[in-house]
Amino acid sequence: MSDRFNYDQFLNTLGAWFLGILWFLPIIYAVWTATHPGEYATRFDLLAPLTLGNFVDAWNAAPFARYFLNTIMLVTFILIGQFVLCTLAAYSFTRFSFPGKDILFALVLLQLLVMPDILIVENYSTMRALGLIDTIAAIGLPYIASGFGIFLLRQTFKTVPKELEEAARVEGAGPIGILWKVYVPLAKPTYLAYGLVSVSHHWNNFLWPLIVTNSVETRPVTVGLSIFGSVDQGIDWSIITAATLMTSGPLLIAFLLFQRQFVQSFMRAGIK
Amino acid sequence: MPGRKEWVYGWLLLSPALILLFAFTHYPAVVTIWDSFFSTPRGNREARFVGFDNYITMLEDETFWQVLTNNLWYAAVTIPVSIGLALAMALWVDGKLKGRGFIRMAYFAPTVLPLIAVANIWMFFYTPGFGLIDQIGSLFGFSEVNWLGDPDLALGSVMVVAIWKEAGFFMIFYLAALQSIPPSLREAAAIEGAGKWTFFRRIVFPLLMPTTLFVSVNAVINSFRLVDHIFVMTEGGPDNASSLLLFYIYESAFKYWDTAYAAALTVVLLILLSILAIGQFFFADKRVHYQ
């Protein structure tokens, strides 16, 4: 049966590879441009000399070290805030009953549609009223109480067997003790999944940070890159591409190393 | 736990998240609606009630109509194309395929990059004359094209970037759904003599409907929420040909400082999103078969 050439299989493989190469081409090309001298940016030559000079030039042309520090502080702040607040809220929704619970949960879910990303005008005036303009807290605060995070953790917490909770209670654990000893450890995979989704989302976020920051001390890498990359500054393409790869580098490398976990965590975040 | 005490616990645990949620989602949403009926405060002049003036200005604002049309086209093209590609990618990566690991990585990689970085890379492709696309084009005898500078091509060029970035993301959700379909179904279909296409159309596709709903709601929201690439690639130009609604809101509020008008525009965006999301649920309700 397998003597016959399998056209179906062949066409599928061809299609998959064609699309795969098409999808990967921009990234390969960016790597090529960034690792070769400027004059090879638009001209392919397999013997062109390799160089890391573009990365060095880019690094020296703008305060990228500071931008990276800002981004790392930002994603850490958001991640810790989200873990704490969403855990408490999800626990409350899972194991306590109180008046208004259903309405409040509906209001939490509403955030999946009405996102802070869209409410830039009013959030800006709130931040100004709070005197938080141009601070890292201002970039992160609107995202900390995440409707998605609360929903995801609540779904996970609901699968925790009552018996485990009873056992902990018999041993004398209070509500917070039960949360810490029973629920949180069992939800570890969800925390990992949500953490990866959150970090990559906020590492990449641009519009809101662009609006609330205006100094080197607070700007995350995405905003720094956009200022650096304006073409009219006369910086050549190889250096811009090097800077571009540099800013996405940590995530890209993390992705290549932990590809399986990354994909699975996005999958997990979606199924629930 | 007795009733009253349980209430207190429930509320206490919930309150930190709720306070922030109200402060940065519900409160601004309500105030946006309120502000859209007032004038923009300037200098010493305070905001005063102007009724529907901002909305009337909007109806007469050609830029608004152009931006709205752009955004609807942008959604109408990028959503079906990226979902269709995502489904094809997922089916390929789920099946038997040589080099599956590499292909899956290639599809998913753009998702990890910041949109702003993606825009930088694509800018270079689109550069007239010596960008990659024109270079390949010139091999086939095409002349130079100003992809981002031509009003007829700018929006399309921006759409391509969005599709490239999004398809791999949606693929992941389809892949998860495909892997949860029991293999026994395939065997049963094979015994019944159903072909591959019939199996896909009659069994796989209906089973994927909840995923399609989830992905398409996300796609709709993203098509109105993500405008980062516009900043780098075109700044909405030429002549607003590639501007999107949120980008116009940004310009109105932070470039022209007309915050009241920006509030009115935001209200339109919120209404649009609600209609689309609710519409999708009603439309899908009849078609989605939950397992």
Domain contains A2: no
Helix (H) or strand (E) holding B284: helix B259-285
| Residue A110 and residue A32 share a domain | no
Q: Are A222 and A206 in contact (CB under 8 A)?
A: yes
One domain, residues A49 and A79? no
**Domain match, A167 and A41 both:** no
Instruction: Provide the angle, in degrees to the nearest 10, between the axes of the packed helices A237-257 and A53-61.
Output: 100
- The residues, any chain, with a CB within 8 Å of residue B202's CB and separated by 6 or more, are B194
CB proximity under 8 Å: A 43-82 to B: none
Pull the structure tokens for residue B160.
Answer: 């391509």
- In 3-state terms, what secondary structure has residue A113? coil
Q: Cα separation of B284 and B213, whole Å?
A: 7
Q: Are residues A83 and A195 in the same domain?
A: yes
What are the chain A neighbours of B223 within 8 Å (beta carbons)? none
pLDDT digits (tens, 9 = 90+) for A115-149: 899 999 999 999 999 999 999 999 999 999 999 89
Burial of A14 (0-12, 13-18, 19+ CB in 10 A): exposed
pLDDT at A233: 55
Element (H, E) at A94: helix A64-95
Q: Would you call B20 and A145 a contact, using CB atoms and an 8 Å cutoff?
A: yes
One domain for residues A79 and A171? yes
Interface probe with A: pick from B40, B124, B130, most Cβ of A within 10 Å:
B124
Residue B102 is encoded by which pair of tokens?
């590499």
Taking the CB of residue A142, how many other CB atoms lie within 10 A of it?
Answer: 25
pLDDT confidence of residue B60 = 92
pLDDT top residue among A245 and A37: A245
Considering the entire predicted model, what is its pTM? 0.89
Q: How far is A60 from A63, CA to CA, in rounded Å? A: 7
Q: How far is B34 from chain A (nearest CA, A)?
A: 11
- Overall size of chain A counted in residues: 272
Residue B67 has a CB neighbour count (10 Å cut-off) of 24
Looking at the fold, whether A119 and A195 belong to one and the same domain comes out as yes
Half-sphere exposure of A51 (CA within 13 A, CB side): 19
Reply yes or no on whether the pLDDT at A1 is more than 60: no
CB-based burial of residue A17 (10 Å sphere; 0-12 exposed, 13-18 middle, 19+ buried)? middle
* B62's tokens: 């050609």
More confident residue, A111 or B134: A111
Q: Do B7 and A99 touch (CB under 8 A)?
A: yes
State whether B270 and A114 contact (CB < 8 Å). yes
CA distance B75 to B212: 16
Say yes or no: A115 contacts chain B, CB-CB below 8 A: yes
The string of DSSP letters for A22-60 reads: HHHHHHHHHHHHHTS-GGGTTS--TTPPP-SHHHHHHHH
B32: which chain A residues are within 8 Å (Cβ-Cβ)? 119, 121-122
- Alpha carbons A118 and B225: distance in angstroms, whole number: 7
Please tell me whether residues A43 and A105 are part of one structural domain. Answer: no
User: How many structural domains is chain A composed of?
Assistant: 2
B42 φ, ψ (degrees, to nearest 5): -130, 130
Residue B89: its chain A contacts at CB < 8 A? 16, 19
What's the pLDDT score for residue A231?
A: 54
Domain presence at residue A58: no
Amino acid at B40: T
By the 8 A CB rule, do A272 and A90 touch? no
pLDDT surpasses 60 at A96: yes
pLDDT over 70 at A266, yes or no: no
Helix then strand then coil, in percent of chain A rounded to 5, is 75, 0, 25
Using DSSP, state whether B42 is helix, strand or coil. Answer: strand
The reply to whether A49 and A67 lie within a common domain is no
Compare all CA atoms of chain B with the CA of A94 and give the residue at the minimum distance. B10
Whether A212 and A129 map to the same domain: the answer is yes
Residue A30 with chain B: CB contacts under 8 Å: 121, 124
CB contact under 8 A, B98 and A104: no
Give A89 or A55, the one with higher predicted confidence. A89
CATH of the domain at A220: 1.10.3720.10
Tens digit of pLDDT at every position of chain B (291 positions)? 557 788 888 899 999 999 999 999 999 999 999 999 998 888 778 888 888 999 999 999 999 999 999 999 999 999 999 999 999 999 998 877 788 888 888 898 888 888 888 888 888 888 777 777 777 777 777 777 778 878 888 899 999 999 999 998 899 888 888 888 888 887 888 888 777 788 888 888 888 888 888 888 889 999 999 899 998 888 887 888 889 999 999 999 999 999 999 999 999 999 999 888 888 777 766 655 554
> What average pLDDT does range A49-59 have in this prediction?
81
What local confidence, expressed as pLDDT, does residue B291 receive?
42
Looking at the structure, tell me whether residues A85 and A41 fall in a common domain: no
Residues of A in contact with B214 (CB under 8 A): 270
- ipTM exceeding 0.90? no
Nearest CA in chain A to B213: A270
Rounded to 5°, the CA angle A226-A232-A237 comes to 70
Ordered domains of chain B (ranges, CATH): 63-285 (1.10.3720.10)
Helix (H) / strand (E) element for B121: namely helix B115-126
What band does A234 get if pLDDT is binned at 50, 70 and 90?
A: low
The residue to which tokens 């399609």 are assigned: B212
DSSP, collapsed to helix, strand or coil, labels residue B93 as: helix
CB contact under 8 A, B112 and A97: no
Residues A70, A106 within the same domain: yes
- Binary contact (B253, A210; C-beta < 8 A): no
User: For chain B, how are helix, strand and coil distributed in percent, rounded to 5?
Assistant: 75, 0, 25
pLDDT over 90 percentage in chain A:
35
pLDDT of residue A6: 73
A163 falls within a domain: yes
Domain that holds residue A46: 7-11+15-53
Same domain, A80 and A171: yes
| pLDDT score at A87 | 95
Q: Which two tokens stand for residue A39?
A: 């004059």
